[in-house]
Structure 1
Amino acid sequence: MRSLNCCLSCNRFDTSKLKVIEDLLDKTAPTLMPCTSPVFQKDVLKKSIILNNRNKNKDTKNDSHNTKIDDDQRKEEISYFYPNLDTTIWSRTCEKEVIEPLTGIITGHIPNWLNGTLLRNGPGSLEVGSYKFEHLFDSSALLHRYEINNGKITYQNRFIQTDVYKKNHAAKRIVVTEFGTRRVPDPCQSIFSKISSIFRSADASDNTMISVYPFNDEYYTFTEYPIIHRIDPKSLETLDKVNLAKYVNIVSHTSHPHVMRDGTVYNLGMTTTSRGPAYSIVRFPPSKFSEDNGTKIKKLSMFDQAEIVATVLPRWIFSPSYMHTFGITTNFFIIVEQPLTLSLKSIFMQKLRNDPLCAAFRWFGNEDSQIHLVSRKNGKAVKTFVTEAFFFLHIINQYETQDGLSVILDICCYRDPKILDCMFVEAIENAHENPDYSKFFRGRPLRFILPLKDSELRVLPEIGSTKTNNVNIRKSGRKKKLEDNKKNVHDVLQKKSAAFKLPNAKAYVVPELLCDLGCETPQINYKFNVGRKYRYFYAICSDVDRENSGMLVKVDTELKTKLIWCERNVYPSEPIFVPDPEGKNEDDGIVLSSLIWGQERKTQVALLILNAVTFEEVARATFETPSPVPKCLHGWFSSLVP
């Protein structure tokens, strides 16, 4: 396997780190107990299974000392495996699309008010002819659709007809280099053709496999290249391809734009300026219409009106940060500049050598992460905070406090980007042999409280000497053994975020823990709470070493409590909150999640409906499909039924 660690060059700098994030991750790590009836059986488990049987058959007259040694050996062996995780859910291939809707078998009661369409996007096939993609992000994009209509639920799926999908299947090989996979060379292409292809943007992948979002009443699929595909929300047919770079100066963008109440869409993109690359916020206003004899005619589309409304230069001009999401509040855009960067100097050689995109990534683990607050009024950065290095994909939510003194920013954080390594196909297939696989996946939802006034910053105590405001401050490199610094989860959750003034006048932020579980693909009551004060979020658990690795989580950010839904051998997708139209509280509504099963139930898929308040199941619709269904990533719910 081509490890991302080989691609991430760690330049070392002599900077001080408080290591609070690392402590929060370590102190809330679970202890995986041996499972008597593993969900997932694999050859690599035979050793531990044999050891289990041997211990069971031991003479009961053995003294307690020998028994303790045997038990310790058994636990040490089993700790290398994840018996409740079926990693094949990611490597499945959809062999036959579901064009005509399937009707599900419904159990429970569907709320009368619940009608609409849930669209999902994600990996659909890792195979092209006899070749196979090497990274999950490279898989051909597959759409899923659930329609809820008057107590009935149907299911469909369909591949997005991207240019790269059509080229690959016409040639029966991988013809475009992806994030983690080299293209299979064309034997007829000369060296001069290879060099010229470096300068052709048409050779970039348009595999919009990550998410789906509405622009007015049209739906588009996204990846991080500025190509989006319009899809039919009823048939899932691919209708159009839009190159956003033709409308606005961007070379990439995040997969998660923000859709505001008035229909305006904002996204964070990378632009080219006279001073080099820059982070830019792009605004897409609602389409403008004119009337002709009572008929609405689109005058200007959202893309026609696209404009850059804010720009921030990266701290390293030739190594801009990788960004998957960004934040927005009433008065600010929030850009989190993590130390995972894309080396522009390496891109030319990466293309010339036919290396995958990940070869151009660089991880500066001894540098800070930076959080920029950018004014929505004038588009300029008004304040920058620093915190220790972390990697992230998803921001949960962000808002300004009522007193106007702070901005609250909640993020799903990891200590480094090794989680991207875990998504290489070879790593997934060999996860059960890797004792560090769960550590690489270890992330936690953290809250950063960002004071808007310098007077709110605390004086930084002498490093390594004290404990301030329940936040441990200690010197970089002085790693205590976890056993010597053990604290229970309750104590860890009581610690609060704090912001200190550094000697160089920068504001250093220490986060607090929101939940002791790994949380990913977080969702909120988006329509009413994006960029506003909120209390609850919903997520899938990303801890692969839990007794049940397929869990949905509801987190109360005020009380720091959680509710969990899980079912043995079931793997839920991103939970989508749908508000009750007559609801009064933030969590009045339901949560939707697409389910798949492990092992022999590869051709079953279901839509789960949970009461968002109690987090208990109220209904589900189960479908038998003609071919395996892979796990999906992100989606969007619309209360309209086309």
Structure 2
Amino acid sequence: MDPTSAKLKMEESPSPSNIFYWSPLPPRKELGIKKPESLGDDLQGKRAYPNCDGSIWLRSCEQEIVEPIDGEIKGEIPTWLNGSLLRNGPGSTKAGTDEFQHLFDCSALLHRFGIKMGKVTYQCRFLQSEVYKKICAAKRLVVTEFGTRAVPDPCQSIFQRVATVFDFSSDISDNAMISIYPFDDEIYAFNEIPIIHKVNPTTLETEGQVNVNNYVNIVNHTSHPHVTHDGVYNLGMSVYASGPYHSIVYFPKNTSDANKESMFAKTKLVASVPARWPLNPCYMHTFGITPSYYIIVEQPLCIYLPELITQKIKKEPMAGCLKWYSDEYTQFSVLSRHTGKLAYTFFADAFFYLHIINQYEEKDHIVVDICVYRDPSMIECMYIESIKTMQYNTNYAKMFRGRPVRFVLPLKPEAYDEVGSCNLIKLDGTEAKAYYVDRGRKILVKGERLCDLGCETPRISYERFLGKRYRYFYAISADVDADNPGSVIKIDTETKECKTWNEKNCFPGEPIFVSSPDSKAEDDGVILSSMVWGKEDTNHVGLLILDAKTFKEIGRAEFKTPGPVPKCLHGWFLPNHDR
């Protein structure tokens, strides 16, 4: 079923709240996740975003740092802060003599900041995925990636190509360059295919891989699982004869010192719901979890399955299979953790997102905070050519414009006969709204803007407040046209107060919260953020430490490296790990 034939017949409802600050972009026939033909107005040598340096994403690591190097300490590193900050992200735009076309395709580079008794070390190594090893051997592109087409093998016939369509393990890139997560005391690098790589948290050596599809029926999963006290949960897509399903995958925590593979051997699906549109399953980068529910946010950015088959036969990038249906609604599917079945469904005006900030239950409502974009144009912005030419693209900042938004889902709404006659949300302290839109059957939710800053890679006090009512989150700036686009941000969701930290020509990464010993307040701890510097200062990386309460700098460690250091994406802090 095509989304255009499944359009909800919703009656007139109240106008949506103005949660964005942008002017409309020129209409496009489709999402356009392809290298743009035109990138905007030529500014004749003037820089559209003079304070933003996109080249930090385009650097290629030329020399791994296998043995840890010592950093220059400025300020003070808290002596109670001991452990490893592990990071993952794009490490090289080069594939031998070829070049990747999209940031998502770049070879994964792992980083480690070792912190012990007031001192810090740094090292970095490439993830030894199978595709990376093939690239190094062939010195060229060997597998078609998300946005980059490899040269087809001339020895492979059209019939062989058709055969590979039905083999999800064939001719697929296992490059895992987005995130890194713990499974018990083991660390794994993630992408959105179900192949994860075990990484040594001290040496950054790649120690093997696990294909989750060998243990449970999923063909992909999000790169942001949730780590809880009883194990790890993730959202994947299962394929059955009746069509695709969105499934919650549970990796139970080991209760003994037996074979660590048992964590995967005991993997199981604990909840599922049919994809909203069987031929157009929605793309999702993360999901929500609370004590009682799983929250699946199905946005109208879809993988068009017939096109996926065609693209696979032609060896074309998967990006061409994504379709954006702007006239559809975003759907919140709430699944019961008790039954594993769909419990509630809500709708919102179409929006695109990558990251959910947090979610929690309160007084018969579910609160879901999301970094929201008007549409998926920001994926276009991450093409290598788009980054190279961003300073001449006056639309670039608009394409990347997003805001953190709070949605509130009423689980026990009062019954009303009139459409849009009353706000169904009875929760204090929020301006979010919800209305019936077809006489008591479907509910449309309207978001509340949490701040007027573009926020990305959001983090919270995760270990204590995942799925619970919380107050603070931390993020990096997503506004490339800001005076300080390299800002780290702290948002108070109750007062809407924002605090920022920035330094000229410095670009911090995802802020990770670490609680201080015996902390009482939610923000009693520190923020860790890796830093790179722009312009010609390429061989320079650092670790920034902020007081999470005051958002003032406590200390930092800076390193001079033998080669360029690119900006990374996501990471994890492992406390009390040997240096």
For normalisation by structure 1, the TM-score amounts to 0.83
Aligned match of 2:29:
none
CA gap 1:164/1:27 in 2 versus in 1, 3 angstroms = closer
Structure 2 residue corresponding to 1:226, chosen from 194, 200, 203: 194
Q: Does 1:336 align with 2:292?
A: no
Q: Percent identity?
A: 51
Whole-Å separation in 2 of the counterparts to 1:376 and 1:164: 37
Q: Secondary structure at the match of 1:626?
A: coil
CA gap 1:457/1:570 in 2 versus in 1, 3 angstroms = farther
Aligned match of 2:51:
84
Aligned match of 2:352:
391
Q: Give the letter for the 2:412 counterpart.
A: K
Structure 1 residue corresponding to 2:146, chosen from 173, 179, 182: 179
Q: CA deviation at 1:183?
A: 1.0
Q: CA deviation at 1:457?
A: 7.5
Aligned match of 1:326:
287
Structure 1 residue corresponding to 2:18, chosen from 3, 20, 23: 23
Structure 1 residue corresponding to 2:492, chosen from 532, 536, 556: 556
Contact kept? 2:413, 2:424, Cα under 8 Å: no
Q: CA deviation at 1:113?
A: 0.9
Q: Does 1:368 align with 2:329?
A: yes
Q: Give the letter for the 1:235 counterpart.
A: T
Stretches of structure 2 that go unaligned for 5 or more consecutive residues are 25-41
Aligned match of 1:592:
528
Higher mean C-alpha displacement, 448-457 vs 595-604:
448-457
Aligned match of 1:496:
431
Whole-Å separation in 2 of the counterparts to 1:207 and 1:151: 34
Structure 2 residue corresponding to 1:119, chosen from 77, 82, 86: 86
Structure 1 residue corresponding to 2:129, chosen from 162, 179, 187: 162
Structure 1 residue corresponding to 2:510, chosen from 574, 581, 584: 574
Whole-Å separation in 1 of the counterparts to 2:492 and 2:110: 31
Q: Give the letter for the 2:247 counterpart.
A: S
Q: Does 1:434 align with 2:393?
A: yes
Contact kept? 1:86, 1:598, Cα under 8 Å: yes
Alpha-carbon deviations, 1:83-104, whole Å to 9, x = none? 1111101110001000000100
Q: Does 1:246 align with 2:207?
A: no
Whole-Å separation in 1 of the counterparts to 2:196 and 2:466: 23
Contact kept? 1:564, 1:615, Cα under 8 Å: yes
Whole-Å separation in 1 of the counterparts to 2:131 and 2:15: 43
CA gap 1:457/1:304 in 2 versus in 1, 3 angstroms = farther
Whole-Å separation in 1 of the counterparts to 2:485 and 2:150: 34
Aligned match of 2:272:
311
Alpha-carbon deviations, 1:26-60, whole Å to 9, x = none? 2799xxxxxxxxxxxxxx76654xxxxxxxxxxxx
Contact kept? 1:387, 1:509, Cα under 8 Å: yes
Higher mean C-alpha displacement, 183-192 vs 611-620:
183-192
Q: CA deviation at 1:151?
A: 0.8
Aligned match of 2:411:
452
Whole-Å separation in 1 of the counterparts to 2:424 and 2:541: 46
Q: Does 1:565 align with 2:501?
A: yes
Contact kept? 1:19, 1:388, Cα under 8 Å: no
CA gap 1:456/1:636 in 2 versus in 1, 3 angstroms = farther
Q: CA deviation at 1:374?
A: 0.5
Q: Secondary structure at the match of 1:25?
A: coil
Structure 1 residue corresponding to 2:342, chosen from 369, 381, 401: 381
Whole-Å separation in 1 of the counterparts to 2:539 and 2:13: 48
Higher mean C-alpha displacement, 218-227 vs 353-362:
353-362
Q: Give the letter for the 1:619 counterpart.
A: G
Q: Secondary structure at the match of 1:168?
A: helix
User: Matches of residues 67-106 of structure 1 in structure 2 within 5 Å?
Assistant: 81-106=48-73
Q: Does 1:144 align with 2:144?
A: no
Alpha-carbon deviations, 1:348-382, whole Å to 9, x = none? 11112221001111111100000011100000111
Q: Give the letter for the 1:569 counterpart.
A: N
Aligned match of 1:301:
262
Alpha-carbon deviations, 1:314-358, whole Å to 9, x = none? 121111100100000010000001000101111111112221001
Structure 2 residue corresponding to 1:206, chosen from 170, 174, 178: 174
Q: Secondary structure at the match of 2:453?
A: coil
Q: CA deviation at 1:187?
A: 3.9
Contact kept? 1:118, 1:637, Cα under 8 Å: yes
Whole-Å separation in 2 of the counterparts to 1:564 and 1:190: 56
CA gap 1:566/1:28 in 2 versus in 1, 3 angstroms = farther
Aligned match of 1:637:
573
Q: CA deviation at 1:198?
A: 3.3
Q: CA deviation at 1:547?
A: 1.0
CA gap 1:215/1:28 in 2 versus in 1, 3 angstroms = farther
Structure 2 residue corresponding to 1:617, chosen from 553, 560, 576: 553
Whole-Å separation in 2 of the counterparts to 1:299 and 1:183: 36
Higher mean C-alpha displacement, 534-543 vs 504-513:
504-513
Whole-Å separation in 2 of the counterparts to 1:603 and 1:254: 32
Q: Give the letter for the 1:398 counterpart.
A: Q
Q: CA deviation at 1:273?
A: 2.1
Whole-Å separation in 2 of the counterparts to 1:562 and 1:182: 42
CA gap 1:46/1:113 in 2 versus in 1, 3 angstroms = same
Specify which structure has the higher proportion of helix: 1
The structure with the largest alpha-carbon Rg is 1
CA gap 1:20/1:166 in 2 versus in 1, 3 angstroms = farther
Whole-Å separation in 2 of the counterparts to 1:394 and 1:458: 36
State the number of aligned residues: 555
Aligned match of 1:353:
314
Alpha-carbon deviations, 1:385-407, whole Å to 9, x = none? 00100000000000001x3x101
Q: CA deviation at 1:193?
A: 3.9
Q: Secondary structure at the match of 1:302?
A: helix
CA gap 1:277/1:253 in 2 versus in 1, 3 angstroms = same
Q: CA deviation at 1:23?
A: 2.9
Q: CA deviation at 1:129?
A: 1.4
Contact kept? 1:457, 1:507, Cα under 8 Å: no
CA gap 1:610/1:299 in 2 versus in 1, 3 angstroms = closer
Q: Give the letter for the 1:528 counterpart.
A: R
Contact kept? 1:20, 1:510, Cα under 8 Å: no
Contact kept? 1:122, 1:143, Cα under 8 Å: yes
Higher mean C-alpha displacement, 308-317 vs 228-237:
308-317
Whole-Å separation in 1 of the counterparts to 2:430 and 2:373: 19
Aligned match of 2:223:
255
Q: Secondary structure at the match of 1:454?
A: coil
Q: Secondary structure at the match of 2:170?
A: helix
Alpha-carbon deviations, 1:486-522, whole Å to 9, x = none? xxxxxxxx97101111125101100100010010000
Whole-Å separation in 1 of the counterparts to 2:292 and 2:424: 30
Whole-Å separation in 2 of the counterparts to 1:169 and 1:637: 30
